[in-house]
Amino acid sequence: MPDSTPTTFGRLEPSRWPGQRLGLPDEGRGSVGRVGRRFLAIAVDWAAAILIALAFAPYSSTLHSWLTLGIFVLMQIVFIPTIGGSVGHRVAGLRIVPISGGWVGLWRPIVRTVLLAIVVPVLVWDSDQRGFHDKIAGTVLIRA
């Protein structure tokens, strides 16, 4: 009888719950952060970036738009390695950890945030609810 274990990435069985293939629990602390918490986190971060940018440029200006994006990116890159996630992540009870364990380091937040800023990779998810930006950076967003 042939072995039914998938041998290629494209043939992996979908997870029964987000994070199952990563060894994460279905619910509670350490489980994959769900969509509602993610939306709350990004809303908090974006609102903070808008408010900070207002100190430097009028809301309706092109400069304000670019400053907002730049401040958002900077907050992600600074706070992910220092407090385990952005301010929005922490407010929503989330944190970012590397799949391999240990400290997230410096390069993962940069790669993850650049991909997050171009939006499209965020819209591509797998059955573990990890966006392409998290897959490339080797991270997962979990409940704290």
98 DSSP β-pair partners = 139
Distance CA 97, CA 80 (A): 9
Q: Please state the pTM of the whole predicted model.
A: 0.84
- Return d(Cα 121, Cα 61) in angstroms, integer: 27
Residue type at position 32: V
Domain positions in the chain: 24-143
- Using one digit for the tens of pLDDT, what is the confidence trace for 56-110? 999 999 999 999 999 999 999 999 999 999 999 999 999 999 998 899 999 999 9
